[in-house]
Amino acid sequence: MTIFQLAIKEIARRKLNFILGLISVIMAVTIFIGAMTMLNIHDIRTEQIVAQKEKETKQRMLALEDDYRKIMKNLGFNLLIIPADQNLGDLYADDFASKYMTETDVEKLARAKIMTMRHLLPSLQQKIKWPERHRTIILIGTRGEVPFLHRDPREPILVAVPKGTAIVGYELATSLNIKVDDKIKLLDRTFTVRQCNEERGSKDDITIWIDLQEAQELLHRPGEINAILALKCHCAGNDIAQVRQDVAAILPDVQVIEHGTHVLTRAEARDRAKKEAQEALQAEIRHRQRLREEREQFSAILAPLVTLAGGISIALLFFANVRDRRSEIGILRAIGVRRHKILFLFLAKAALMGGLGAVAGYLIGAVAGMALEGVITPAALNGRSFVIALLLALSLSLMASWIPAYLASQQDPAAVLREE
């Protein structure tokens, strides 16, 4: 009869002793695997939550940026491109450039692959006398924005003014009692009022916008413009020097002026949206990390305590088993069974206890962990966890039974039989 056969017979004879030891192993493995399963599920859910949060954050940031973009649009363009020989003192004094460029210049910029700006708007501006109404006004002719050919089109900041129509500034509309759909005469040409702007508190309030070609005809400037408005992109390394360098490579005979306040406000708005989105994501990650650390700390205390208690329980059960089997051990030794076989007999029983306890504890612990987390997912189970459970169970049962098994193998058969 082999050692394992003897171990099986021993288990069948003393079922209660084996069952109590098995329960100790199962409890230790259950607690350990339950904690691991909960942490695995926590990590899985964290990845899912962070991925969802990143998606929501990205959408939220895009929405915020879009909102800010719409708000910032009201600030208007932040770059002004004018002829290089234009005196800035005269420009600021007169509110418009007195030097001119060709309309084809804006087409050159649109065809160039410039990444530092967008929203090109050619215009012809001039302060004139409005003879029909005896007022001094600013006349602006615009053809609408010219899109960059290498970029996706964006919603324009200003749209084109259809031919035969005009947009009137707030002060002019109010003081002259001009309303939408009214017919107004300007330099002997009739226009239909398409829109009356709200008050802006700037020169726009005394401005009339018409189609660029019609403005060129009225001002006798065919094919000419005196300004190109643009929007500087808000991106890393995009300073005004870089913009000027990019524009100079295409149009060497122009100068670029930046409206600093508009740029700063726009940049701060975009950066604030991005920062808020990133902070929300990082806060969620930190929260999930704190939860995991708390669970790890709890598991680090509970699992060793249960394992220690299980080991002590198994050791006591084996001591009791050795004591009850003193006479059997004495007979086996008397008929020539060697000490190492007696040792292996008890260790085989412990190994069976550990193996069965590992399987049962793994299943119970995994199910319990998923139940406590409220998530049933095969992803929480893996071969690595089972190997750890098996090693833990075998180590616990073998180590706890080693001393009782060793003492049993060292018993003197003659002394045992004399006592009997």
pLDDT per residue as tens digits for the range 299-349 = 778 878 888 888 888 888 888 877 766 666 666 666 666 777 777 777 888
Residues in the chain: 420
CA distance 53 to 227: 45
Whether the per-residue pLDDT at 95 is higher than 80: the answer is: no
Query: Which band of pLDDT confidence, cut at 50, 70 and 90, is reported for residue 413?
Result: low
Query: Cα-flanking dihedrals φ and ψ of residue 5, to 5°?
Result: -65, -40
pLDDT tens-place string over residues 387-406:
888 888 888 888 888 887 77
Global confidence as pTM = 0.47
Query: Cα-flanking dihedrals φ and ψ of residue 362, to 5°?
Result: -65, -45
CA distance 117 to 236: 13
CA distance 23 to 13: 18
155-159, 187-191, 208-212, 292-296: the lowest-pLDDT one: 155-159
Angle made by CA atoms 275, 279, 282, in degrees to the nearest 5: 140
Q: What integer pLDDT is reported at residue 274 of this predicted model?
A: 67
Q: What integer pLDDT is reported at residue 112 of this predicted model?
A: 79
| Residues whose CB is less than 8 angstroms from the CB of residue 212 and which lie 6 or more positions away in sequence, other chains included | 103, 122, 123, 124, 141, 142, 143, 225
| Residues whose CB is less than 8 angstroms from the CB of residue 360 and which lie 6 or more positions away in sequence, other chains included | 22, 26, 29
**For residues 132 and 254, is the Cβ–Cβ distance under 8 A?**
no
Amino acid (one-letter) located at 194: R
| Residues whose CB is less than 8 angstroms from the CB of residue 378 and which lie 6 or more positions away in sequence, other chains included | none
Chain Cα centroid distance, residue 5? 60
- C-alpha pair distances (Å), 317 with each of 25, 26, 117, 349: 12, 15, 82, 12
pLDDT tens-place string over residues 53-93:
778 777 766 765 565 555 444 445 678 888 888 888 777 76
